[in-house]
Amino acid sequence: MIKVQHEDFDTGQELAALTDGRTDIGGVASFIGLVREMADDRQLSAMTLEHYPGMTEKMLGEVEAEARKRWPLDDCLIIHRYGRLEPGERIVMVAAASAHRKAALEACAFLIDWLKTKAPFWKLEESGDDDPEGGQWVRSKSSDDDAAARWSADPDDKNQGS
């Protein structure tokens, strides 16, 4: 399930909805991303996330489909917020549910790594009143590309991501 939304989400409710009544699920792995107060030695007052509706959901659907192709998932969830968010607020949640923990853990790591590099979101970091430019657009980081690249191997290779 994919949700792109402005409003906050309740992680407990989302996980309960994912698993309620499901006796086939043996494990759920999740990741919740938050707005940090520091970025590159700068104090942040807020982060604004922009996206193109329709295009964003389509790309997230492709990421989800790839995870389902690579691992035996019973379900998965991707929630990504947009709009102006302050430090401490939730930005993203991914969860992968499977009969076995290894598949859930690996799929969860894959989902967040690929979201970081493939999801069409643009982030503007605000540093406060002393920021003469009104903020800085976040550039892609080689560390994010490296994390996503580890999943570029053949999905039939059972040792990928290990």
Q: What per-residue confidence (pLDDT) applies to 55?
A: 93
Structure confidence at residue 132 (pLDDT): 55
Would residue 151 count as lying in a domain? no
Domain that holds residue 97: 2-146
Residue 161, in any domain of the structure: no
| 154 in a structural domain | no
Are the CB atoms for 113 and 106 separated by under 8 Å? no
What is the predicted pLDDT for the residue at 162? 39
Q: How far is CA 86 from the centre of its chain?
A: 17
Domain-embedded: residue 6? yes
Q: What is the CATH number of the domain that holds 117?
A: 3.90.1170.40
74 domain residue, yes or no? yes
List strand residue ranges (DSSP E) for 6-53, in order.
27-34, 38-39, 42-43, 46-51
- Number of folded domains that form the chain: 1
Tens digits of residue pLDDT in 10-49? 999 999 999 999 999 999 999 999 998 887 777 888 999 9
Are the beta carbons of 94 and 76 closer than 8 angstroms? yes
Beta carbons within 10 angstroms of residue 11's beta carbon: 14
Rounded to 10 degrees, the C-alpha dihedral 112/118/122/127 comes to: 40
